[in-house]
A and B are shown apart, each in its own frame.
Chain A
Amino acid sequence: MNRTVYVAALHEKGHFMQETFETISFAQELDKGKIVLLVLADEESVTTLSRQLFLETGLDTIGLKGNFLKGYSAEAYIKTLSSFFRDKEPACVCIPHTSQGADFAPQLSVALQACCITAVEAVGNGAFTRTMFGGKFKVEIRPTKQASVLTVLPGTWNPCSHGNIVQGELTITDVPDESVSTRTHGIRESSHKNAALSDSEVVVSAGRGVGKQENIRILRDLCSLFPKSALGSTRAVCDLGWLDYTHQIGVTGNKVSPRLYIACGISGAAQHVAGMKDSRLIIAVNTDIDASIFRVAHYGVVEDLARFIPLLIEAYIKRNRE
C-alpha cells in the first residue's frame, strides 16, 4: 500500500513561497515514510519550477502539467489533485496555510474522503495540535480517517534545509484536460499598504480591547511621544470603522518590524501576530492575563489601557521635566 506523504508546493510568479519549504519541514517531522512534492503549473513553467524544487530539496518531485493551471484557482487545483490521487492512498497531503492553501484544502479533503485539519502548529502521538479561541486553548486533534489533508501554519517550522544528497527523482506528468469553469482575472494590488507604518521605529497598535473609538485618541497621544512612530491596529478595529484599513497589521494587512511595538487591547490572534512578531521589543497592555498576546510580548502590563496609557504619558512628561 502506498502510504506516502505529499506536499503541495505552492508558488507564485515563478517562485516557491517560503511557506512551501516550511511545509516540507513539517512533512519530514511526520516521519511516515516517503515524501513526494507536487508542483501544479502550466506547460510554460512546470519544468523549470519542478527542477528548481527538486534540486533544492533532493526529494521526489512530480510536476503536474496542465494548461488550465496557469495561475491559481481552487477548482483547477482540486480537479488536478483529485485525478492524481485517484489510484493512490496518501497518508497525508500537507499544504501551506496561505490564502490559497486554506482555500482549496477543505474541498480537496472531501474529494479524497480524508479528514481536514487546518493551521497545524505541532505534531505528536498521531495527533495534530492547533489553537482555538484566539490562541487561548491548545487542541490536539486525531484523525479518524485513513488520509488527512493538513494545512501548516506559516512561520511555525523552519524552511527545510537544502538536500545535499539527491534521493528522489523528478517526473513531469501531463494532467488530462479538465473543463474548469472558474475564470481568473488576476490580482489587484492592496490599497492597505502604508509605507509610514512599515518604516516606523515605533508602532502603537490598537485592538478591540480599546473599547471605543474615542480611546484611539489616547493611543495617538502615546504615539506622539516617539519620533518616527505610527498608529497600527488589528483587523477588528478597522472592521468596526474606528481606523481605516491602511492601519491594519497582520496577514491581510501590513507587516511591520519596528524597534518597539506596543500592543494595546490586542488579544493576539495568529492572523495579527503574523504581521508584527518580528518587532524587536514587544510590549502588551491588556486586561486579560490569559490573552495570547502575552505569549509573544517581551513585557506585559495587565491593566485597562484607558487608565494605564494616560498614566504612562504622565510619567513620561514628569521624567522629562526632571
Chain B
Amino acid sequence: MRILVCVKQVCDSADTLSVNNAGAWVEHAPKSVFRINRFDEYAIEEGLRITERHSGSVLDIVSIGPQRVQAGIRRALGMGAHHGIHILKGEDTYVTPLERAFLISEAARSRHYDLVLTGVMAEDDMEGQVGGLTAAMLAYACATNVIYEETVPDRGEITVEREIEGGSRECITLKLPAVLTIQSGINIPRYPVLSHMLKSRTAALEQISAGMLGPSRPGQVIEKISPSPPAGIGELIEGSPYEKAEKLLEILHRHSLV
C-alpha cells in the first residue's frame, strides 16, 4: 500500500491569537507554540497501523506552509512515517481549503497513492473540506468521519465505518484508491520514538514550492475576521473565588437546585 497522510500544523493555544493588521487573518503572538493538528495525529497513527498490517507499504507525509511546518513533518517521521513532503507556501496567511486540496492533489497525482488520509478537520479553521476536495480532484473515492477501517488490498477495497449523528456508524465499502478523513478516537496516536526522532532531525525532506504546482486559485476570500461577540444573555459572576462559590450556590438555590 502506498499511503499519503496530509498533516497541518496549528497553533497550540488559541489565547495567543489576535486579528492581524490587515484584518484578514489571525496573528500569532511571538511566544506561540505550533504542533500537529490533533485530528491529523489520528490519521498518521491509522496510516502507520495499515503499513504495519501490509508489509512493503510506504507512508508519506505532506504538509503545506512556511518553513516552521517542517517540525510537524519531522515529528510524523519520528512516529514512523517514511518520507516527508513540504509544500512551501509563504507566510502565515489564510490558505483556503480549495488551495490546500489543489496543492496536495498536484503533489500526489504522479505518486499514485492507494490511500490518502487526513484528520476530519483542522483545529484552527475547522472547515473539514480538504479530504473531500482532494478526493474529487484526484477522482478518488472518499469517506469522511472514519472511525474504523479494514483494508483489503488484494481486492482493491477498503471497508469503513463512518461516525454519524449520535455516534451511530454507517458501514460502506469503497474501491481503492480512496481518501479517508479520520475521526478522533479511532486509535491512540503513538509518541515519536527517540531513535526515529534523531534520524528524522537530519532526514532530507522533499521541498516543493507551492508556485511550482500551479497558480493559486483560492475560490474564496476572507472579507473580515473579528473576535466573536462576548456573551449575550449570560452573566459573569465576580468576586474572590470563595465569593463566586457563594454567589453560585445562591443562584442554584433560587432555581431550587440545591
User: Taking beta carbons and an 8 Å cutoff, which residues of A are in contact with B?
Assistant: 72-75, 78, 98-100, 102-111, 115-119, 125, 127, 130-145, 181-193, 202, 225-226, 235-236, 238-239, 241, 245, 248, 251-255, 259-260, 267, 269, 281, 283-284, 288-290, 292, 294-303, 307-308, 311-312, 314-316, 319
User: Restricting to B23-63, which residues have a CB under 8 Å from any CB of A?
Assistant: 26, 38
Q: For the complex formed, measure the closest distance between the CB of A66 and the CB atoms of chain B, giving whole angstroms.
A: 17
In Å, the complex CA distance between A319 and B218 comes to: 60
Name the CB-closest residue of A to B252. A260
Q: Given contacts A183-B173, A192-B166, are A74 and B143 in contact (CB under 8 A)? A: yes
Pairwise interchain contact B161-A298, C-beta atoms closer than 8 A: no
Chain A residues with Cβ below 8 Å from B252 are 260
**Alpha-carbon distance between A94 and B33 when the two chains are bound, in angstroms:** 37
Number of A-B contacts defined by CB within 8 Å: 260
Report the contact-size class of chain B (Cβ under 8 Å from the partner): 35 or more
Of B169, B219, B237, which one neighbours A301 at CB under 8 angstroms?
Answer: B237
Having A119-B126, A138-B229, A139-B224, one finds 6 other A-B pairs with CB under 8 Å, namely A187-B168, A189-B168, A253-B167, A254-B166, A259-B257, A314-B245
Given contacts A133-B17, A137-B26, A226 and B135 within 8 Å (CB-CB): no
Chain B residue numbers with a CB within 8 Å of A259 are 255, 257
Partner of B172 from the list A106, A110, A182 (CB cut-off 8 Å) is A182
Residue of chain B at shortest CB distance from A102: B128
Across-interface contacts of A290 in B (CB, < 8 A): 15, 227
Q: Tell me whether chain B's interface is mostly helix, strand or loop, or mixed.
A: mixed
Contact of B133 among A107, A131, A187, A193 (CB under 8 A): A107
* A116-B97, A133-B26, A141-B223 known; A298+B233 contact, CB < 8 A: yes
Contact B234 A298 (CB under 8 A): yes
Q: Which residue of A lies closest to B234 (CB)?
A: A297
Cα distance, A98 to B162, chains bound together (Å) = 13
Looking at chain A's contact residues, is the secondary structure mostly helix, strand, loop, or mixed? mixed
Contact residues in A for B124 (Cβ distance below 8 Å): 132-133
Q: Are A106 and B171 in contact (CB under 8 A)?
A: no
Contact mask B139-174 → A, CB, 8 Å, 1/0? 001111100000000000001011111111111111
Set B131, B141, B185: member contacting A182, Cβ < 8 A = B141
B177-217 near A? 1/0 per residue, CB < 8 Å: 00000011100100000000000000000000000000000
Which A residues are in CB contact (< 8 Å) with B101? 106
